[in-house]
């Protein structure tokens, strides 16, 4: 007689693995397609792919994504300078002053932002920043992306700070440390991996955002071939280039969209890999 418990256990394992593979198969298919098609474009373009502007549509030449790559780097840097300190301070206030009314309002506000479509954030910044300035700009795009980053980073950092045992805070107070010293020297040190993960999630989120840029930084259709010279000027970005070039009937621009998609994927994966190497668990 067969051992039906073992048979059922193995059957359950097989079904679970099969369903898991079925769930991730579309993701691997997308990644494989981006790697194959985007990789061939980057190889064909060579170094010029990373430095040159897009060629004229339908010209048969490829060009590159230099202005869009530079704009993405500018957006990532400025957005981080705006969004990361604001998110960290917000999360610290929510955790350390959880009983205050302002902390409860901040928690509800940041949680609500997660449900707001990012295109609405772009429209809001368009009305508040772009219209008064009279032009698109990388600064407006950075402000929009900082708002998008806020709820993601706050939620992860908040969880990381709440995971620090109360005894460590009490130990800091017992040796005469101020509240600020306890938070920034003890709590932030112990929760450094969670804090870094929150920052990473926020940066990865905004680097791949397209909707807020539609109303804030300008057009990716070759209007700014030299790249941004100032944060107050219109610019370009890889997600916006991918979105717009993929919809055109021109084969050379479609190829650029595939190459830009692979480049953006590699940038995000590199951020994850670098963070994993730089941050280690704090042991006390």
CATH number at residue 140: 1.10.3720.10
* Same domain membership, residue 245 and residue 196: yes
Give pLDDT, residue 85.
93
* Same domain membership, residue 78 and residue 195: yes
Helix or strand (DSSP H, E) at 47: none
Residues with Cβ < 8 Å from 109, sequence gap 6 or more? Answer: none
* Same domain membership, residue 260 and residue 233: yes
pLDDT-derived band of residue 227, with 50, 70 and 90 as boundaries? Answer: low
* Same domain membership, residue 205 and residue 244: yes
**Number of domains comprising the chain:** 2
Alpha carbon distance 189, 164 (integer Å): 10
* Same domain membership, residue 29 and residue 122: no
* Same domain membership, residue 113 and residue 14: no
> Domain limits at 222?
66-278
pLDDT digits (tens, 9 = 90+) for 73-126: 899 999 999 999 999 999 999 988 888 888 888 888 888 888 888 899 999 999
**Does the pLDDT of residue 194 top 50, yes or no?**
yes
* Same domain membership, residue 154 and residue 38: no
Domain-embedded: residue 209:
yes
Alpha carbon distance 237, 217 (integer Å): 8
Radius of gyration of the chain (CA): 23
pLDDT digits (tens, 9 = 90+) for 37-69: 888 989 988 888 888 888 888 777 888 888 889
* Same domain membership, residue 232 and residue 92: yes
Q: What percent of the chain has pLDDT over 70?
A: 93
Domain-embedded: residue 55:
no
Alpha carbon distance 21, 9 (integer Å): 18
Highest mean pLDDT among 77-91, 192-206, 265-279: 77-91
């Amino acid at each position: 007689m067969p051992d039906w418990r073992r048979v059922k256990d193995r059957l359950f394992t097989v079904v679970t693995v099969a369903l898991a593979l079925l769930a991730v198969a579309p993701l691997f298919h997308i990644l494989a397609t981006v790697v194959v098609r985007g990789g061939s474009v980057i190889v064909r373009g060579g170094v010029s792919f990373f430095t040159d502007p897009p060629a004229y549509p339908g010209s048969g030449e490829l060009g590159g994504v230099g202005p869009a790559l530079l704009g993405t780097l500018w957006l990532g840097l400025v957005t981080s300078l705006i969004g990361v300190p604001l998110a960290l301070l917000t999360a610290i206030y929510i955790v350390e002053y959880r009983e205050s009314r302002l902390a409860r309002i901040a928690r509800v506000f940041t949680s609500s932002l997660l449900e707001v479509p990012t295109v609405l954030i772009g429209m809001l910044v368009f009305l508040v920043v772009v219209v008064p300035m009279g032009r698109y700009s990388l600064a407006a795009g950075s402000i929009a992306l900082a708002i998008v980053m806020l709820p993601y980073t706050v939620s992860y950092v908040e969880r990381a700070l709440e995971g620090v045992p109360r005894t460590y805070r009490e130990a800091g107070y017992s040796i005469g440390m101020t509240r600020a010293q306890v938070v920034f020297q003890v709590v932030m040190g112990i929760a450094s991996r969670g804090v870094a993960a929150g920052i990473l999630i926020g940066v990865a989120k905004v680097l791949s955002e397209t909707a807020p840029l539609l109303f804030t930084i300008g057009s990716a259709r070759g209007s700014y071939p030299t790249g941004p010279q100032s944060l107050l000027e219109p610019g370009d970005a890889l997600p916006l280039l991918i979105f717009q070039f993929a919809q055109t009937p021109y084969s050379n621009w479609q190829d650029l969209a595939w190459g830009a998609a692979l480049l953006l994927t590699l940038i995000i994966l590199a951020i994850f890999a670098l963070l994993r190497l730089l941050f280690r668990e704090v042991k006390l």
